[in-house]
């Protein structure tokens, strides 16, 4: 079997879909399953090796306070050449870019499956332009042979879809994220480290963590807030922290994905104050796998990860920075509780190991294949 993993998000920047696609690809390779990754080009200098095919162009687009991609193949004949050369048995779309996704789908003569990672919760754009979702659903119903959601609510907009569906979450590499990862020595000075790791944009909610930390700053002297990431609101957040004289706030800047485990290992508490737009919450699982307790805002995606277990105790209503401060303080004051929550997270994270996730993906491919054959027999 040969699989084409299609991402409509640029690989020139970090992102959850990028990590998911790379994780699938690596696990396929371990099993002897041939796969190629197809991504649009954003920069002229991009080159990711022989397993990544650069097809089409990605243009930056801002939607609902977050960076998105507008994808187009200016030379549709290039799609024909790639599909003819590679002869994929499965094209596995990850989200769906316009118009590039339609250009590829209409030329595909193989099994087409899509994983929908997007959370449209709180995105006013799609409420204003509802016809876009209507067209999208029609396209999916026309030629997509199966749909995967990384959480149940990802499939809610496809209620009338007639072919196989499944909920298969994001995966994690437990060899990369685990309790044996060495921490960064300069942060091991006795302070309680709170970590934020993510893009500094509106929906990630860093300003609310800073407001919560301001409350903690007035009461406690043994804490540090480590902020790892870049984004359009970084300057504003740095200015706010300075104006409010927050102590021990460290803006690290952007970091490579390979360095992320060390930052998790260096913290005592991981906090993600994302207010909306999260479909799953891979950062939560990464922190849990390294044995760290997690405090987060209760957006839809994060609730799916934490609500059913002990982690639900540390979910907070989005934007409620005062309660966020209270939850953080509980963990800051109790080393025993931090350890207990960390142990719970380690066990929970094992459910998301790549071997378990890929087993589910391969079973779904087979289900879709059988269903497609059955439908062909019926139609004949």
Co-location of 340 and 371 in the same domain: no
End-to-end CA distance of the chain: 26
Would you say residue 89 lies in a domain?
yes
**Structural domain containing residue 370:** 2-171+353-379
DSSP three-state, residue 301: helix
What pLDDT shows up at residue 28? 98
**pLDDT given for residue 13 in this prediction:** 84
Residues 366 and 302 in one domain: no
What's the pLDDT at 60? 84
pLDDT on residue 350: 96
Strands (E), 128-189: 146-149, 165-167
For residue 122, the model assigns a pLDDT of: 55
Residues 82 and 225 in one domain: no
- Whether 27 is in a domain gets the answer yes
pLDDT at 111: 98
Tell whether 229 is covered by a domain. Answer: yes
Q: Residues 335, 359: one domain?
A: no
At residue 126, the pLDDT reads: 56
User: Domain tally for the chain?
Assistant: 2
Structure tokens of 205?
Answer: 């909610």
**pLDDT tens-digit profile of 72-106?**
999 999 999 999 999 999 999 999 988 999 999 99
Strands (DSSP E) found in 95-248: 111-116, 146-149, 165-167, 192-197, 223-228
Domain membership of residue 179 (yes or no) is no
165 and 284 housed in the same domain = no
State residue 218's pLDDT score: 94
List the strands of the sheet with 2-7, edge to edge. 66-72, 52-63, 34-41, 2-7, 90-94, 111-116, 146-149, 165-167
How is residue 195 written in tokens?
């970590």
Query: How big is the CA angle at 219 (ends 215 and 225), to the nearest 5 degrees?
Result: 60
The stretches in the chain having pLDDT less than 50 are none
With respect to residue 249, please indicate whether it lies within any of the assigned structural domains.
Answer: yes
Full-model pTM:
0.90
Flag whether 176 is in a domain. no
pLDDT of 128 reads 58
Token pair 């316009």 in the structure block, residue: 98
Residues 128 and 211 in one domain: no
CATH label of the domain that carries residue 332:
3.40.50.2000
Q: Is residue 19 part of a domain?
A: yes
Do 259 and 318 share a domain, yes or no?
A: yes
């Amino acid at each position: 079997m040969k699989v084409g993993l299609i991402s409509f998000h640029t690989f020139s920047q970090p992102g959850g879909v990028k990590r998911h696609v790379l994780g699938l690809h690596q696990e396929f390779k371990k099993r002897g399953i041939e796969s190629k990754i197809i991504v649009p080009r954003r920069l002229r200098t991009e080159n990711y090796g022989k397993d990544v095919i650069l097809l089409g162009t990605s243009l930056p687009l801002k939607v609902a306070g977050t960076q998105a991609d507008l994808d187009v193949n200016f030379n549709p004949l290039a799609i024909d050449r790639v599909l003819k050369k590679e002869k994929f048995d499965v094209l596995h779309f990850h989200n769906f870019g316009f118009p590039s996704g339609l250009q590829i789908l209409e030329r595909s003569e193989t099994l087409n499956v899509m994983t929908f990672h997007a959370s449209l919760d709180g995105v006013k754009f799609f409420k204003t332009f509802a016809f876009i979702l209507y067209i999208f659903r029609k396209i999916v119903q026309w030629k997509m042979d199966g749909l995967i959601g990384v959480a149940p609510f990802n499939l809610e907009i496809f209620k009338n879809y007639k072919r196989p569906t499944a909920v298969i979450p994001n995966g994690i590499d437990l060899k990369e994220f685990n309790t044996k990862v060495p921490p960064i020595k300069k942060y091991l000075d006795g302070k309680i480290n709170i970590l934020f790791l993510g893009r500094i944009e509106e929906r990630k909610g860093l300003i609310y963590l800073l407001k919560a930390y301001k409350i903690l700053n007035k009461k406690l002297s043994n804490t540090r807030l480590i902020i790892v990431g870049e984004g359009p609101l970084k300057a504003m957040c740095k200015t706010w922290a300075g104006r409010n004289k927050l102590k021990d706030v460290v803006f690290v800047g952007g970091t490579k994905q390979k360095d992320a485990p060390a930052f998790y290992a260096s913290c005592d508490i991981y906090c993600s104050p994302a207010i909306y737009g999260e479909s799953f919450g891979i950062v939560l699982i990464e922190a849990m796998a390294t044995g760290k307790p997690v405090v987060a805002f209760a957006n839809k995606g994060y609730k799916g990860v934490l609500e059913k277990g002990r982690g639900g105790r540390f979910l907070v209503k989005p934007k409620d920075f005062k309660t966020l401060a209270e939850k953080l303080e509980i963990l800051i004051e109790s080393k025993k509780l931090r350890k207990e929550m960390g142990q719970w997270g380690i066990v929970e994270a094992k459910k998301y190991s790549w071997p378990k996730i890929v087993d589910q993906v391969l079973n779904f491919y087979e289900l879709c294949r059988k269903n497609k054959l059955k439908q062909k027999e019926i139609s004949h």
